[in-house]
Homo-oligomer: A and B are copies of this chain.
Amino acid sequence: MSSAIDPDLLIGADMFGQLDTDARTAVLAAGTVRPLAQGRLIFSQGDPGVTCHSLLKGRVKIVQARPDGAQSVIRFIGPGEMYGTVAALMDRPFPADAVTVVDSLEVYWPVGVMRQLMGRYPEIAMGSAASAGTRLFELQDRVGELAGEKVEQRIARALTRLMRQAGRRTPQGIEIDFPITRQELAEMAGSTLHTVSRTLAAWDDRGVTSSSRRHIVVCKPHVLLELADPA
């Protein structure tokens, strides 16, 4: 009996949190839940967007491949967040890859089913629109940042974003709660793993961060914030 999926897994989700238990159960039942091993490609840039996804557990990165072979990490997805939804609802190809960075659990729905669910539970449609708007603004900010700022500042911004999104309080400071490589941080900040390595080493020396293999703890968040946004 693998069918006993806990509908409460959706409680934390932006888009389903406001639904009552019955509704959440129905929403979950309409989709397919599946575990995904680390490193698994969920959908690819260019694939027709025919499914909407929501992450229940784990962490997923949305990555855009550039023609020259380099990659950009557009965003990281945590539990409760949706992805692929905008492309699917617009009948467009997915604009980027989705890859799990740790073992994860997701639900997905064919877009037709999701449209029905949105019709039945308007909260979902509202939430979806709101979240798209929020992302629009975030991306505008990022465009501004990437356009003019120096590398250290961009890396600091990337890290602060990760802190807010995936930070866990520990005695040593705020820890990024999933494994992340310098390469990935570089792909977020628009830099190279070399520069990221040097920058983190410098911050470690100053006690701002404490980083090791695929693992980062921000010991002095206020200093990092200052680096990200010099008043």
The answer on a CB contact under 8 Å between B148 and A190 is: yes
Q: Is A104 engaged at the interface, CB distance under 8 Å to the other chain?
A: no
Copies of the chain in the assembly: 2
The answer on a CB contact under 8 Å between B92 and A148 is: no
Q: Identify A147's interface contact among B132, B136, B141, B146, CB under 8 A.
A: B146
Q: Give the size of the chain A interface in residues (CB under 8 angstroms).
A: 39
In A52-88, the 8 Å CB interface with B consists of 64, 66-68, 70, 72, 74, 86-87
**1/0 contact trace for A89-107 toward B, CB 8 Å?**
1101001100000000000
Q: Is A115 engaged at the interface, CB distance under 8 Å to the other chain?
A: no
Q: Is A41 engaged at the interface, CB distance under 8 Å to the other chain?
A: no
The answer on a CB contact under 8 Å between A133 and B86 is: yes
The answer on a CB contact under 8 Å between A140 and B70 is: no
Q: In the complex, what distance in Å separates the CA atom of A230 from the CA atom of B66?
A: 11
Q: In the complex, what distance in Å separates the CA atom of A40 from the CA atom of B166?
A: 42
Q: In the complex, what distance in Å separates the CA atom of A225 from the CA atom of B67?
A: 13
A residues with CB within 8 A of B: 64, 66-68, 70, 72, 74, 86-87, 89-90, 92, 95-96, 129-130, 132-137, 139-149, 187, 189-190, 229-231
For the A-B complex with A95-B140, A132-B133, A139-B140 known, give 17 more contacts whose Cβ atoms are closer than 8 Å: A66-B145, A67-B229, A68-B148, A68-B149, A70-B148, A72-B143, A74-B144, A89-B133, A92-B133, A96-B140, A129-B129, A139-B143, A143-B146, A146-B146, A147-B187, A147-B189, A147-B190
